[in-house]
A and B are shown apart, each in its own frame.
Chain A
Amino acid sequence: MVLVTVLSSFLAAAVEFVEAVTIVLAVGVTRQWRSALIGTLAAVGLLVLLVGAFGTAIALLVPIVVLRLVVGGFLLIYGLQWLTRAVLRAGGATARHDEAAIFEREVTALRDEPPVPPVGMDWISFTVAFKGVLLEGLEVAFIVVSFGASANLLGPAALGAGAAGFVVLVIAALVHRPLAQVPENGLKFAVGVMLTTFGTFWAGEGVGIEWPASDAAILALLAGYVAIALVGVAVVRARVPERRGHSAAAAESG
Chain B
Amino acid sequence: MRHVRAFGAFWYDFLVGDRWELFLGPLAALLLVRVLVWVGVPGAVTSIVLFLLVAGTGAISVGWILRQVRRGSA
Chain A contacts to B: CB under 8 angstroms: 69, 73-74, 76-78, 80-81, 83-84, 87-88, 93-94, 138-139, 142, 196, 199-200, 203-204, 206-212, 217, 221, 224-225, 228-229, 232, 236, 239-240, 243, 246-247, 250-251, 253-254
Q: Which of A224, A236, A240, A243 contacts B51 (CB 8 A)?
A: A224
Residue in A closest to B56 when the chains form the complex, CB atoms:
A228
Q: What separation, in Å, do the CA atoms of A139 and B10 have in the docked complex?
A: 12
Interchain CB contact under 8 A, A228 and B58 = yes
Q: Which of A74, A78, A196 contacts B54 (CB 8 A)?
A: A196
Interchain CB contact under 8 A, B70 and A240 = yes
Known A-B contacts A93-B66, A204-B47; A232 and B59 likewise in contact (beta carbons under 8 Å): yes
| Cβ-Cβ contact count across A and B, 8 Å cutoff | 111
A-B contact pairs, 28 of them (CB 8 A): A73-B27, A74-B15, A76-B30, A76-B54, A77-B26, A80-B26, A80-B58, A81-B22, A84-B19, A93-B66, A93-B69, A93-B74, A139-B14, A196-B58, A200-B50, A200-B54, A203-B30, A207-B33, A207-B34, A208-B38, A209-B33, A209-B50, A211-B43, A211-B47, A224-B51, A224-B55, A228-B58, A240-B69
Residue in A closest to B59 when the chains form the complex, CB atoms:
A232
Interchain CB contact under 8 A, B66 and A239 = yes
Task: Write out the residue numbers on chain B whose beta carbons fall within 8 Å of the beta carbon of A83.
Answer: 58
Task: Write out the residue numbers on chain B whose beta carbons fall within 8 Å of the beta carbon of A94.
Answer: 65, 69, 74
Interchain CB contact under 8 A, A77 and B43 = no
Chain B contacts to A: CB under 8 angstroms: 14-15, 17, 19, 22-23, 25-27, 30, 33-34, 37-38, 42-44, 46-47, 50-51, 54-55, 57-59, 61-62, 65-66, 69-70, 72, 74
Residue in B closest to A239 when the chains form the complex, CB atoms:
B66
Residue in A closest to B54 when the chains form the complex, CB atoms:
A200
Looking at the assembled complex, report how far the CB atom of A247 sits from the nearest CB atom of chain B, in whole angstroms. Answer: 6
Task: Write out the residue numbers on chain B whose beta carbons fall within 8 Å of the beta carbon of A81.
Answer: 17, 19, 22
Task: Write out the residue numbers on chain A whose beta carbons fall within 8 Å of the beta carbon of B19.
Answer: 81, 84
Known A-B contacts A240-B69, A246-B72; A210 and B43 likewise in contact (beta carbons under 8 Å): yes
Q: What separation, in Å, do the CA atoms of A225 and B37 have in the docked complex?
A: 23
Known A-B contacts A88-B62, A211-B47, A247-B69; A77 and B33 likewise in contact (beta carbons under 8 Å): no
